[in-house]
Amino acid sequence: MPQKFFSAFVLKYSKKKSKMKILLLDKNHPLIEKQLSAKGFTFEEDFTSTYDEVLEKISNFDAVIIRSRIPLDENFLRHAKHLKFIARVGAGMENINVKVAEELGITLINSPEGNRDAVAEQVLGMLLLLMNRLIISSEEVKKGIWKREENRGEEILGKTFGIIGYGNMGKAVAKRLQGFGAKIIFHDILPNLQDEFASQVSLEELQQSADFISLHLPINESTHYIINEDFISKMKNNFYLINTARGKNVETSALVKALKSGKIKGAALDVLEFEKASFENIEVKNDNLEFLLNSEKVIITPHIAGWTVESKEKLAQVIVDKILLKYS
């Protein structure tokens, strides 16, 4: 290419890149704006506008960086005439209509590498709290109750730990569990995954042998209510369930029934089926939720498994690196 055309090409190309205008829809670590501004990206922060308000202006932006505040549904994406990429700071993409985004040629970026360590550590924490009755016995002692036999715990050593969904999170859990001397098995829809920490098995085999199950799945048609009455009936008796994935992976009524019958010995839930409705709208009445909140066999946390000081920064850095890899 002659020098004159080459220079014009470079100018046009770099000008286009440097003008990429990003709409930030959720608060994140400031390094995103700092590092991307240094590369010529410009930003507008909007952490409060409603879906309709964002819809009105989305055609002015080349990209969106989001957690999960606003659903980027088909209507939204078709209004976003100039959108080149959507960066989801986090793992779950259920707030984005992935099919339509792909059809429109919008690049999708997420960052499970940023919060997998936090999730894995919380899974282990929940497991230890649950099996050793640490929350209950601590509360009892603070009330002046000293019970030892009733609070006898159980060990992980020698038990079988089943992981359903073996992506970033599932693998991070297996890696840490190794040190506990458990047999670790996993099930994933991708066949023949070779792994140094765990062995892949069919869902049936996992159901027959797991003493614990930890879910690490996205939510979609095939994973909605994957843990239902039928699934639970095929499990070993007295298993523990840990869910740090999505509330709707578990049919709450089936979980409650199995906790009541003793089929499930204990559950640690970082996510709930009716999470938002139940806690943001106090009018919502739900007997199953009431049971979970009051059961000694259940630990519930407010969707914080991926939510650490470190993961806030790591999530942001992963997003920046992935954006720059493609657009700098």
Positive/negative CA dihedral, 47, 50, 51, 52: negative
Q: Of all helices (H) and strands (E), which one includes residue 323?
A: helix 309-327
* 133 in Cβ contact with 151 (< 8 Å): yes
Active site residue 133: no
Q: How many alpha carbons lie under 13 Å from residue 96 in its C-beta half-sphere?
A: 27
Q: How far apart are CA 77 and CA 99, in angstroms?
A: 11
In the bound state with ligand 3PG, the residue whose beta carbon lies nearer, of 67 and 322, is 67
In the bound state with ligand 3PG, the residue whose beta carbon lies nearer, of 36 and 271, is 271
Min dist CB 9 to ligand 3PG, Å, is 39
In the bound state with ligand 3PG, the residue whose beta carbon lies nearer, of 266 and 306, is 306
**Chain position whose Cβ is nearest to ligand 3PG:** 90
Contact letters for ligand 3PG, residues 267-306 (x by CB under 6 A):
---------------------------------------x
Determine if 68 is a binding residue for ligand 3PG (CB under 6 A).
yes
Determine if 115 is a binding residue for ligand 3PG (CB under 6 A).
yes
In the bound state with ligand 3PG, the residue whose beta carbon lies nearer, of 90 and 162, is 90
Determine if 120 is a binding residue for ligand 3PG (CB under 6 A).
no
Determine if 92 is a binding residue for ligand 3PG (CB under 6 A).
yes
DSSP letters for 297-311: TEEE--S-TT--HHH
* 216 in Cβ contact with 165 (< 8 Å): yes
The SS3 of residue 328 is coil
Write out the residues near ligand 3PG by the rule CB under 6 A: 67-68, 90-92, 115, 306
